[in-house]
Amino acid sequence: MNTNALVIVESMWGNTRAVAEAVAAGIGAECTVLDVQDAPSTVPDGVSLVVLGGPTHALSMSRQRTREGAVEQGAPAGHSARGLREWLGEAAVGEAIDVATFDTKVLKGRRFAGSAAKAAAKSVQRHDLGHLVATEDFYVSGTAGPLVPGELERAREWGSHLVEISSTIA
């Protein structure tokens, strides 16, 4: 299948990035994964599906302060300036583009309502940044991870599912 998709990811510990790579593998060969730091604010022509992923911090998308806090807890430096929240605030996405969101969150907090994926989805809808097709949570065993067993396979399957439900992928 000839899919032109873009996965934009924010990852502090590498777990969300691993999920993004697995989602991209499920989508197929014509899928690019970009760190949110490097992602263009305008989605390039020809992209038909955008997948946005980030970690849940303080029950929502990260903020500069929560990213700085992650670095203070041992996450690698260099990812605190721009996150998914900031990208969404400046993004230009065409109406005809399908958008999906995902997050990583700590499994023990599963019962809590907070989700970066849901917050990003609300931002997509509020700012008319494409057609929201799906949101998903993926789980880590602690703040720094690792991913809960089976999550990467579930992410690949979800990527394949996105291709099936996307109205814009030929």
| pLDDT for residue 110 | 61
* C-alpha dihedral sign at 100, 38, 64, 130: negative
Kindly report, residue by residue over 24-57, the tens digit of the pLDDT. Answer: 999 997 899 999 999 999 999 899 999 999 999 9
Those residues whose C-beta lies under 8 Å from the C-beta of residue 36, and which sit 6 or more positions away, are 8, 9, 10, 54, 82, 83, 84, 86, 87
For the chain, the straight-line distance linking the first and the last C-alpha, in angstroms and rounded, comes to: 8
Domain boundaries, the chain: 5-165
CATH architecture of residue range(s) 5-165: 3-Layer(aba) Sandwich (3.40)
pTM: 0.92
| pLDDT for residue 34 | 97
Kindly report, residue by residue over 146-165, the tens digit of the pLDDT. Answer: 999 999 999 999 999 999 99
Helix or strand holding residue 101 (H, E): strand 98-106
